[in-house]
Amino acid sequence: SRAKEAVAFAILANETVAGNPSNVPSATGATHPVVLGKLVPA
């Protein structure tokens, strides 16, 4: 649903702002956890 998607993006944004890795290496095949996204000043 749209509400679930909005919550998911809010959680990912919060993790990015906090500098916390939010990928799942076991699911994506990544070699290590990384911060997803990038903040660009307006």
pLDDT score recorded for residue 28: 86
In whole angstroms, what is the distance from residue 7 CA to residue 24 CA? 18
pLDDT score recorded for residue 20: 96
pLDDT in tens, the chain (42 residues): 899 999 999 999 999 999 999 999 999 899 999 999 888 998
CB 33 within 8 A of CB 23: yes
pLDDT score recorded for residue 2: 92
Q: What is the pTM of this model?
A: 0.74
In whole angstroms, what is the distance from residue 27 CA to residue 24 CA? 5
Query: Residue with structure tokens 């911060």?
Result: 35
